[in-house]
Amino acid sequence: MAPVNIDPSAMTADLALQLLKDGNERFTSGLSANRDLLQKVKETKDGQKPFAAILSCMDSRAPAELIFDQGIGDIFNIRVAGNVISPYVLGSLEYAVAVAGSKLILVMGHTGCGAIKGACDDVKLGNLTDLLAQIKDSVTNEITETENRTGTNSIFVNKVSMLNVLHSVEQMMAQSEVIRSYVENGTIKIIPAMYDVSTGIVSFQHELQTA
């Protein structure tokens, strides 16, 4: 199967989302596109036009290029434990949409997330302590699981992970005037998603609604 090549000038947020959905379907079907990666290195040596920026967790089981079946130069891949927001993450995403022209921001959590488990269990460890503190609101806001609200409860952990994705989207909109303006004028979309580490399937959640 050959990779899909689309003129960057024709790219839209909806098309970018469809490319990710199609890529994940290829990945989970075992039909990933055949790519000449060295040729792609040569083609992108003078510039890049990634159609999407993906903020995801650093988990080794969730490499964005692979699970979305994308090649060199196709997506920005921003990874940090717990897919949390920071000024550096926001700056990177602002570059993606305002300078490089990416049409979609995908914020992706995943099942069985170690960072989420750590936040649920109030882990303290060096600089990780402050990172996990960014997840604590999502732990508190998950109110459907009333028993065993710890990292050993996989259902609780995965529900917190989804809330944490939505929290990151909210923070992005609140803390970045650049990103907010691009969403509000329809230039880009922000989409929350969850990756299942047991199946390879990405579930794309409701699109962010703006007033």
Residue pair 78/168 in contact (Cβ under 8 Å)? The answer is: no
Question: Which residues contribute to the annotated binding site?
Answer: 57, 59, 110, 113
Calculate helix-pair angle for 87-98, 177-184, nearest 10 degrees. 40
Pair of tokens at residue 62:
């969730």
Instruction: Look up residue 77 and give its DSSP letter.
Output: E
3-state secondary structure (DSSP) of residue 142: coil
Pair of tokens at residue 117:
């488990």
Pair of tokens at residue 45:
């040596």
Give the span between the Cα atoms of 139 and 175, in whole angstroms. Answer: 21
Pair of tokens at residue 84:
């949390």
Instruction: Look up residue 193 and give its DSSP letter.
Output: E
Question: Which residues contribute to the annotated binding site for Zn(2+)?
Answer: 57, 59, 110, 113
